[in-house]
Structure 1
Amino acid sequence: MNRRERKKEKTKDSIVNSAIEYFRLKGFHETSMEEIAEKSDVSKGTLYNYFRDKESILVAYFQLLISNHSEKINESFIQNKDMRSRLNELLDFINHIFHNDLELASIYFRYRMQTLFNSNIIENTQRSGLESLVLEIMKEAQANNEIRCDIPLAIISRNFMFLYMNFFISSIYGKEIFEIDILKNQLIDLFVNGAGL
């Protein structure tokens, strides 16, 4: 990475860190892009060159969190060869990340649901780190004949993502009290075995 790229990364990180600090202090909806620009010591134009809105800053934040833990996740994937074990590890990992910041995670998931319909999960460079991990698990599972190969990888991955989002919503907002491990295993069973008897 050359000096210019390092400077751009430093500016991007400063914007994300400043925004997250304000989101936690003032609230996501109460924080303005102008405040983020001022706290980051960049012009509004520079801010908008990096991020089109607050939601895209939030996506960058969670991508960074997931990326920072990717080595640990990849190590667990090496130890766990089968898809079921990898999905179990992945759900534990992302629950840990998202449950530490429920308000921001909820906004993030709403935004990701809206943008999921606007993009190709395989080709979209703005996909979340989570989507990349799911794609990798499903690709490996197809190669190992653990899941069907006649269904495109994007469809299989999206189905799991939708199930996960439902899992997240149920574990946070459901009126019923769910045991998280039972709910997690039910999600994986539903994905692997379907809803049939």
Structure 2
Amino acid sequence: MGSGNMLPENRLERKKRETRQKIITTALDLFRRQGFNNTTMEQIAEKTDIARKTLYNHFPVKEAIVDEYMRDISSEFAKKSMKAIRDLPDTKSRLVAALDKAYQWVEENPEFAGICLGYRMKNICRGSEDENSVTGTRSIVSEIIRLGQESGEIRRDFPVTVLATQIDILRGAVVMDWLKDMSRFELRRKMVMVTDLFLNGAANRDDSE
């Protein structure tokens, strides 16, 4: 069976998905034209032509709209990149390629990146993070780690989820630091260092010692 286990989308699910996408498209247009801080949920509801209750049923706050938008971008990137990254020769080259591509978008959209990161951090602190809502970048990093364990490049005594979380923490800290002053360093170059830190640790490996 070519369709596998996928069930057809019913009318209600399709309507919900279409409404959700319309909200995101409308909100992003308002954010870009008049600024995130100057845009209200009421304006988004009015421009989308839906009831405010409907809007809040989909998104509790406007930060959640940006988060959903970035998850869509990240998921699309992962789908397009997975095959090419699997074809690379080792774990380091795969991680460097994946993070470089992901953070090119972040460099071009720092405001949205900051809003999204802040929103996710708040959810983590409140214990309300959706564990089933994995980003595309997280999924591709997890797959790279799995391949590294399979080839013997990465230790197997820790599960993929734990190791992927370590990279999440490292890259999140770097992005927060970069957002404070984007002139201090190039984000994508720093992600190469994050890859090296994850794979080789923090020990000084100067051969002259």
TM-score, normalised by the number of residues in structure 2: 0.82
Q: Give the direction of change, closer, same or farther, for the CA distance of 1:51–1:182 in structure 2 (3 Å limit).
A: closer
Corresponding letter in the other structure for 1:47:
L
Q: Deviations over 1:147-197 (max 9, x none)?
A: 222223332111101111223234443476324554232211111000012
Amino acid aligned to 1:152: P
Letter of the 2:38 counterpart:
E
Question: Runs of 4+ in structure 1 displaced over 6 angstroms?
Answer: none
Shift of 1:4: 2.7
Amino acid at match of 1:101: N
Pick one of 94, 99, 106 that aligns with 1:98: 106
Give secondary structure in 2 for the equivalent of 1:61: helix
Match 2:185 to one of 140, 163, 178: 178
What CA distance in whole angstroms lies between the structure 2 residues aligned with 1:190 and 1:105? Answer: 23
Query: Retained in 2: the 8 A contact 1:33–1:54?
Result: yes
The match for 2:86 is 78
Return closer, same or farther for 1:181/1:55 CA change in 2, 3 Å cut-off. closer
Q: Which stretches in structure 2 are left out of the alignment for 5+ residues? A: 1-8, 205-209
Once residues 81 and 111 of structure 2 are traced to their aligned partners in structure 1, the CA distance between those partners, rounded to angstroms, is 24
Deviation at 1:102, TM superposition (A): 1.0
Which string of whole-angstrom CA distances, capped at 9 and with x for unpartnered residues, describes residues 39-64 of structure 1?
Answer: 11111111112111112111110011
Q: Is the 8 A contact 1:59 1:128 kept in 2?
A: no
Contact 2:95 2:195 survives alignment (8 Å): yes
- Which protein shows a greater Rg? 2
Q: Distance in 2 between matches of 1:116 and 1:147?
A: 27
Corresponding residue of 2:158: 151
Aligned partner of 1:50 in structure 2 is 58
Q: What residue identity is the alignment partner of 1:150?
A: D
RCO (CA 8 Å, sep 6+): is it higher in 1 or 2?
2
C-alpha distance in structure 2 between counterparts of 1:90 and 1:53, whole Å: 30
Cα distance, 1:137–1:116 mapped onto 2, change above 3 Å: farther
- Report SS of the residue matched to 2:131: coil
**What amino acid is aligned across from residue 45 of structure 1 in structure 2?**
K
Q: CA RMSD in A?
A: 2.2
Between the aligned partners of 1:162 and 1:60, the Cα distance in structure 2 is: 20
Contact 2:45 2:52 survives alignment (8 Å) = yes
Q: Give the C-alpha shift of residue 18 in structure 1.
A: 1.0
- Contact conserved, 1:76 with 1:89, CA < 8 A, in 2? no
Q: Contact 1:87–1:137 at 8 Å: present in 2 too?
A: yes
Q: Which residues of 2 match residues 183-194 of structure 1 at below 5 A?
A: 183-194=190-201
How far apart in 2 are the matches of 1:175 and 1:24?
20
Q: Kindly provide the amino acid, as one letter, of the partner of residue 118 in structure 2.
A: R
Per the alignment, residue 25 of structure 1 pairs with 33
Relative to structure 1, the CA distance from residue 175 to residue 104 in structure 2 (aligned partners, 3 Å threshold; closer, same or farther) is closer
Distance 2:116 2:76 in 1: 18
Measure, in 2, the Cα distance between the counterparts of 1:95 and 1:67. Answer: 14
TM-score for both structures, normalised by structure 1: 0.87
Q: Is the 8 A contact 2:41 2:62 kept in 1?
A: yes
- CA 1:108 to 1:179, structure 2 compared with 1: closer, same or farther past 3 Å? closer
